[in-house]
């Protein structure tokens, strides 16, 4: 765990101040606002208490976490803690230890999920509404000028064009964060591609590389995914790999196929989800779309808003969706 952020009491004070300001301007009374919030909390279950949201290191997940966290704190009075952790093992360890209550965007860690379910500390809560798409991408200019690069069978003839000082004469394939769900080194090896995987280190570095490659017409092929806000601003095209079939990624060392499209999951700490907390009910009801997530991600990344401000803007503009989570 890198750090722990808390919010709840301070937001409650801000909320009271906002209500008083509305009253002074002729809005609803303090009592009316209090009754409304109390009724929402009652509909969602019992008192919330602590809500410990695990946050994995990509901006889409940050969007999930801070929108849910803001609703939980402002509407239900939860004391919200954000735990920054890597996906997979570290996140499931937090569920097991009780430090974390929910993973809002689970990407294909079936082994860890099954272990948690079998041991009784993890519960599959179904989809938050997002569909995860991982694949190999090139910048739009390259796909337009060399359309055959979109078929993996043609990649070796272009290997020299993708070469960099780091790839040692081979084509460079730009990986992202090596802790993400990825099989790129195995795919390169098993498809006999003359490429070397160089890891960028994380989401921001990958985004910047694709932005630069599009702007400067540089050769680039790399791991990327959706939902991700940058697709709305930087054209990218997905390279066609051998199609995914059930089980083709069961042995990570033998993968020679494309990534599966994945309906993402919410995973809760079982004891928390079985409690009477209104926060647990909110987590169960939370659902939105790739477009919703991409918009909040854009506020954070392109518009330079804080996660708190980005969440507040989206909530204010989508009160009908928020009300459905609380009903």
Q: With contact defined as beta carbons under 8 Å apart, do 286 and 325 qualify?
A: yes
Strands 50-55 and 79-84 come out as parallel
Q: Tell me the average pLDDT across 1-6.
A: 33
Q: What is the pLDDT of residue 181?
A: 85
**How do residues 120-158 score in pLDDT, each as one tens digit?**
999 999 999 998 899 999 999 999 999 999 999 999 999
Residues of the chain with CATH 3.40.190.100: 132-262
Which residue, 121, 86, 138, 81, is CA-closest to 107?
86
Name the H helices within the chain.
9-24, 30-44, 59-76, 89-97, 110-119, 140-145, 159-162, 184-190, 203-216, 270-273, 278-285, 290-301, 307-317, 319-326
User: At 233, is the pLDDT very low, low, confident or very high (cuts 50, 70, 90)?
Assistant: confident
Model confidence at 36, in pLDDT bands (50, 70, 90)?
low
Mean pLDDT of 164-187: 94
What is d(CA 316, CA 319) in angstroms, rounded to the nearest whole number? 6
38 versus 166: which is more confidently predicted? Answer: 166
What is the spatial distance between Cα 107 and Cα 124, in angstroms, rounded to a whole number?
12
According to the model, what pLDDT value does residue 42 have? 47
- Token pair in block for residue 44: 């969602």
Is residue 250 pLDDT above 80, yes or no? yes
The pLDDT-based confidence of 5 (bands split at 50, 70, 90) is: very low
pLDDT of residue 179: 86
pLDDT in tens, 93-123: 999 999 999 999 998 898 999 999 999 999 9
**Distance separating alpha carbons of residues 72 and 286, to the nearest angstrom:** 11
Confidence of residue 272 (pLDDT cuts 50, 70, 90): very high
**DSSP helix/strand/coil, 150:** helix
pLDDT over 70, % of the chain:
86
Q: Which run of H or E residues covers position 137?
A: strand 131-139
Q: What is the pLDDT of residue 31?
A: 52
Average pLDDT, the chain: 88
Lowest mean pLDDT among 193-202, 227-236, 269-278, 299-308: 227-236
pLDDT score of 110: 87
Predicted pLDDT of residue 231: 86
Beta-sheet strands, E only, within 187-270: 195-199, 222-226, 236-238, 262-263, 265-269
Cβ neighbours around 146 below 10 Å, total: 14
CATH code at 132-262: 3.40.190.100
Average pLDDT over residues 15-37: 44
Q: Do strands 236-238 and 262-263 pair parallel, antiparallel, or not at all (unpaired)?
A: unpaired
Would the CA dihedral through 292, 294, 297, 298 be positive or negative?
negative
Q: Where in the chain is the domain with CATH 3.40.190.10?
A: 4-130+265-326
**11 has a pLDDT exceeding 70:** no
pLDDT at 7: 39
Domain 4-130+265-326 has CATH 3.40.190.10: yes
pLDDT of the residue at 27: 46
């Amino acid at each position: 765990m890198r750090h722990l952020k808390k919010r709840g009491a301070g937001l409650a004070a801000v909320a009271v101040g906002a209500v008083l300001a509305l009253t002074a301007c002729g809005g609803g009374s303090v009592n009316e606002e209090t009754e409304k919030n109390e009724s929402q909390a009652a509909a969602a279950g019992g008192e919330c208490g602590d809500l410990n949201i695990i946050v994995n290191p990509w901006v889409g997940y940050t969007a999930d976490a801070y929108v849910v966290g803001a609703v939980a704190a402002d509407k239900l009075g939860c004391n919200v803690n954000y735990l920054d952790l890597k996906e997979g093992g570290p996140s499931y360890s937090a569920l097991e230890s009780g430090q974390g209550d929910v993973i809002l965007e689970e990407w294909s860690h079936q082994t860890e999920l099954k272990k948690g379910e079998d041991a009784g500390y993890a519960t599959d809560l179904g989809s938050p509404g997002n569909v995860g798409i991982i694949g190999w991408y090139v910048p739009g200019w390259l796909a337009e000028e060399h359309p055959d690069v979109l078929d993996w069978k043609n990649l070796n003839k272009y290997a020299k064009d993708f070469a960099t000082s780091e790839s040692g004469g081979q084509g460079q394939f730009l990986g992202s964060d090596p802790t993400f769900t990825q099989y790129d080194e195995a795919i390169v090896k098993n498809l006999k591609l003359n490429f070397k995987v160089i890891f960028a280190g994380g989401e921001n570095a990958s985004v910047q590389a694709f932005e630069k490659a599009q702007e400067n017409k540089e050769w680039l092929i790399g791991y990327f995914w959706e939902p991700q806000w940058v697709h709305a601003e930087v054209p990218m095209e997905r390279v066609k790999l051998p199609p995914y079939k059930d089980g083709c990624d069961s042995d990570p060392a033998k993968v020679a196929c494309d990534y599966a499209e994945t309906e993402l999951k919410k995973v809760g700490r079982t004891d928390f989800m079985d409690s009477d907390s209104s926060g647990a009910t909110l987590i169960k009801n939370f659902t939105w779309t790739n477009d919703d997530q991409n918009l909040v991600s854009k506020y954070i990344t392109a518009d330079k808003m804080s996660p708190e401000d980005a969440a507040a803007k989206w909530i204010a503009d989508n009160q009908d969706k928020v009300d459905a989570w609380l009903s």
